[in-house]
Structure 1
């Protein structure tokens, strides 16, 4: 059966075609980076308007390139939440309208379940049960996964998510949007040990995360060195001669602190659950340093780590298609449009 998927939860418009027997046929993504770059972050209204402009042309292009007609599609999966409510409504309205016109069901998909199942797009797939680290701009969670829909949140961020902390710190360093990947790139030029930042909440039991204090520590170092560029507080003329190296050193120390914190929590999670398989997904899971350290961790634990290729780490329609294909029987033909900007993954029914 062929599933068409739509992802529109934030600042990427993604569509995909997934066959339940042959796997992913193809997908297309339009990133809104250029639209939001001048603002240093996502502007919800602009995001929603661009989803309106791009979703239908992307669907048409994808179907034409794979010679698929509406009669070939068995269901439409769409991101119902969590995410920006306006952006979610665009995808939901388009999905419901097409489903009604084509006489097929529409399937609500949880955005984070999409990320969690993204490794299923790879040739080597994890088997249940596993521990999932969902780490992105909006979420940092450790989830025990016994099966599809059988999710228990072991720990999550109580303030800034890891990706959000990356982006905010990058902005303080004067880096371009999106800041997280730019900070990671800059960190490769940093010298280890020049700065040492805390590994928050690792000195106490538990699996929750907190990155706001780490962000503040980095901000204090940036200001102390006189390289604070955000908000016009410093100009290029005021910067010290070695400003670029200082920025690289701070970026390196910040990234190491985030990665070490996540690794410590993952070690606790696999030891607590006794599960030897770890899945990492979400935008931050593309971070090379994080992947390498988690691979070392799981090797020491006698287990294995799985993750999707980089193109499936950020928001995309392919992951929504995979999740939707698992829940084909839950599709509905009702016209009522639902968007759930806040939606716990623990609320999903088990299959």
Structure 2
């Protein structure tokens, strides 16, 4: 089946054409990073407006790059949720229009499940059951995946997603947006110097995550190191507190803070992932989502997997970040098993 996928859950406008759920004929992604960088995070109203401006061009480009005509499409898939409701509605509306005009089935796909099953695009030999960790700017969740249609949420963040914590700490340190790549770069420069930070919920009674306390711990440490008065108005906020972050002294401080923060995140993610693998007696784990592009996280998970005899799978970075190929691929399975959705379905900010 030849499926057009559309993804607009956050700040990437994406479209892809996938054949039989496995062969990616095209994948087009337009990012809005530059539009949101000055704000240190995604502004929902700007995101939805940019999606509206880009969606037609992106869909047309995906069809052209696939070397097909619109009439060749056999189904249309779209991210239904979770995500920013205004952004989601742009994609859902476009997909409905295409499905109606071409008289083809439409499938609304769970964005997080799209990430989980993206692993099959590069690792078709991945076996069920497996444990999947989805870690990104909006999600930090653990899943027990029994089979293609049974996906059980077994752990989630109780407050902030890991990627959100990266963004906010990067803003605090004056490093810009998005936070994940720049904190990773600065952590590499720490040369063994690190600032110790707490790890929350590190006990086997829960597979949930919590990162708000870690963000606050970084803030308190920076306040102390920079001599910021505890009753000053910036207390509890995430404005830049380190002046001239490129001076030798400040740069070394930023590097050690970035390293300590990143290590705390990686420790928690890795520990919970393998606790879940142990609890559910699986020997395959998948790590996906934007934060899964982090090389230090990949190395830690791979090392621990090798030590414990667990196969570790990471989609390549282009499939870890938001894309429409994973949406079209997931829809192939859903359409075969459940058929298409009614055109009356709506976007869901939470799912």
| TM-score range relative to shorter protein | over 0.9
* Alignment length (residue pairs): 342
Q: Look up the match of 1:349.
A: none
Q: Cα–Cα, structure 1 residues 247 and 333, in superposed 2: closer, same or farther, change >3 Å?
A: closer
Kindly indicate whether the alpha-carbon contact (under 8 Å) linking 1:125 and 1:306 is maintained by their aligned counterparts in 2.
Answer: no
Equivalent position SS for 1:58: helix
How big is each residue's C-alpha offset from its partner over 1:301-324, in whole Å with a ceiling of 9 and x where there is no partner?
212001110011010011111111
Q: Look up the match of 1:26.
A: 26
Q: Aligned runs of 1:269-288 on 2, under 5 Å? A: 269-288=276-295
Q: Look up the match of 2:97.
A: 97
Kindly indicate whether the alpha-carbon contact (under 8 Å) linking 1:13 and 1:31 is maintained by their aligned counterparts in 2.
Answer: yes
Distance (whole Å) between structure 1 residues aligned to residue 277 and residue 209 of structure 2: 16
Residue 221, structure 1, aligned to residue 221, structure 2 = yes
Q: Look up the match of 2:195.
A: 195
Q: TM-score, normalised by structure 1?
A: 0.92
Equivalent position SS for 2:196: coil
Distance (whole Å) between structure 2 residues aligned to residue 185 and residue 263 of structure 1: 20
Residue 147, structure 1, aligned to residue 155, structure 2 = no
Distance (whole Å) between structure 2 residues aligned to residue 128 and residue 334 of structure 1: 30
1:253 is matched with which residue: 249, 260, 270?
Answer: 260
Q: Which runs of 4+ in 1 moved over 4 A?
A: 227-230, 232-235
Equivalent position SS for 1:231: coil
Q: Look up the match of 2:348.
A: 340
RMSD of equivalent CA atoms: 2.0
Equivalent position SS for 1:38: helix
Q: TM-score, normalised by structure 2?
A: 0.92
Q: Look up the match of 1:301.
A: 308
Distance (whole Å) between structure 1 residues aligned to residue 266 and residue 43 of structure 2: 28
1:231 is matched with which residue: 239, 257, 269?
Answer: 239
Kindly indicate whether the alpha-carbon contact (under 8 Å) linking 1:173 and 1:227 is maintained by their aligned counterparts in 2.
Answer: no
Kindly indicate whether the alpha-carbon contact (under 8 Å) linking 1:119 and 1:125 is maintained by their aligned counterparts in 2.
Answer: no
Distance (whole Å) between structure 2 residues aligned to residue 334 and residue 208 of structure 1: 34
Q: Look up the match of 2:322.
A: 315
Q: Look up the match of 1:16.
A: 16
Q: Cα–Cα, structure 1 residues 68 and 326, in superposed 2: closer, same or farther, change >3 Å?
A: same
Equivalent position SS for 1:36: helix
Distance (whole Å) between structure 1 residues aligned to residue 153 and residue 22 of structure 2: 32
Residue 171, structure 1, aligned to residue 178, structure 2 = no
Kindly indicate whether the alpha-carbon contact (under 8 Å) linking 1:96 and 1:337 is maintained by their aligned counterparts in 2.
Answer: no
Equivalent position SS for 2:39: coil
Distance (whole Å) between structure 1 residues aligned to residue 240 and residue 20 of structure 2: 53
Distance (whole Å) between structure 2 residues aligned to residue 120 and residue 333 of structure 1: 23
Q: 5+ residue gaps in structure 1?
A: 344-351
Deviation of residue 235 (structure 1)? 4.2
